[in-house]
Amino acid sequence: MKKSFRGIESGNGIAKQEEFEDPELNGLNILLVEDNVLNQVLAKKVLTDWRWNVDVAENGLVAIQKLNEHDFDLVLMDIQLPEMDGYEATRHIRKKMAPAKTNIPIIAMTAHAIAGEAEKCMNAGMNEYVSKPFDPKDLYHKVAHVLNNPPHLPEKGGNSKTNGKMQETKESTAAKDKNIDLSYLKQLSNGSSEFINQMITIFLEQTPKAIQTMEQAVEKGDWMALRAAAHKMKPSFGFMGIKSLKELIVQLEAEAEKGSNPEGMKDKIATIKTVCEQAIQELEVEQKTLS
């Protein structure tokens, strides 16, 4: 028997709710398909602050199972997933699920921002595409669009960027001498130091393991594992504002996909490790100011 899922209720207040006040969108039931814990925490924070209910599936197979068991209004689908990726899961939903489920709106959320990616998502059956780290206003607009429900969003001092980056603030300018810049997290936090602390803690736990995975993968010549690890790290650098690694991690992922330039890949991983070690020290200092 099918049942409606009510998910996770909003916690500490509503993040900038005055900017996202379309009453038709209140109470949406969202299935977030994402395997990265850092990405899960950030997306859930934003969505629940909009009074949306969120359930999480860690891969495409779990997503299909949850869609069979519950009713959702929309799916936010990562692309690179274990077990079954976002493309395969979307094609299964469109072609093999019950008629009541096949037309559910699906928005791709991915850090794999390369030429032709948006077209590939649409060809798989997705309705829209958002790059990570995402701009909340961009995501809200696209959710409203695919649900045929235009939002009523006041413009506040200029245009919003739609390429997954928040606008630079005075705070980010002041942080240019650091490896990190937490402006993005602070804009999403709605004043919640607990949320920022949680995101930092996850980064501190995940990053050394991810770097070790990349080091082991390049030594073994396991380019698929290296590409997957690099891809998974990419949004983390955006969340923590580690701008110096933005292009480097993209280059590493591209080289791993081709299996080319092993020595160059080793050098890139070494640079990533050095910068991340410095960033970790800065984040540990930042955590002390939050406690």
Does 143 share its domain with 281? no
Q: Comparing C-alpha atoms, which of 124, 42, 55, 128 is closest to residue 89? A: 124
Q: What is the pLDDT of residue 19?
A: 59
Give yes or no: residues 24 and 150 share one domain.
Answer: yes
Same domain assignment for residues 99 and 185: no
The predicted structure's pLDDT at residue 20? 61
The model's pLDDT over 197-230, given as tens digits with 9 standing for 90+, comes to: 999 999 999 999 999 999 999 999 999 999 999 9
Number of domains in the chain: 2
Q: Residue 263 sits in a domain of what CATH number?
A: 1.20.120.160
Tell whether 37 and 67 lie within a shared domain.
Answer: yes
Do 16 and 107 belong together in one domain?
Answer: yes
Please tell me whether residues 220 and 259 are part of one structural domain: yes
Last residue of one domain, picked from the residues 138, 166, 194 = 166
Residues whose CB falls within 8 Å of the CB of residue 166, separated by 6 or more in sequence, listed in order: 133, 135, 183, 184, 187
Cβ count near 218 (within 10 Å):
22
- 74 near 62, Cβ under 8 Å? no
Last residue of some domain: 120, 136, 166? 166
- Report the amino acid identity of residue 244: S
Task: Classify the phi-psi angles of 192: left when phi > 0, otherwise alpha if psi is within -120 to 50, otherwise beta.
Answer: beta
Same domain, 104 and 68: yes
**Which CATH number goes with the domain that contains 24?**
3.40.50.2300
Whether residues 81 and 122 fall in one domain? yes
Q: What is the predicted pLDDT for the residue at 224?
A: 93
Domain limits for position 195: 175-290
* Residue-level pLDDT at 23: 75
This model's pTM is above 0.85: no
Task: Say if residue 159 is in the same domain as residue 238.
Answer: no
State how far the alpha carbon of 200 is from the alpha carbons of 37, 43, 117, 166, 181, in Å. Answer: 12, 15, 30, 18, 12
Final residue belonging to a domain, choices 166, 190, 212: 166
Do 141 and 186 lie in one domain? The reply is: no
3-state secondary structure 111-137: CCCCCCHHHHHHHHCCCEEEECCCCHH
- 111 and 203 part of one domain: no
Question: What CA–CA distance (Å, rounded) separates 86 from 79?
Answer: 4
CB atoms within 10 A of CB 268: 22
Q: Give the residue ranges of the chain where pLDDT is below 50.
A: 1-17, 150-175
pLDDT at 162: 37
Same domain, 72 and 16: yes
- Cβ atoms within 10 A of the Cβ of 273, count? 16
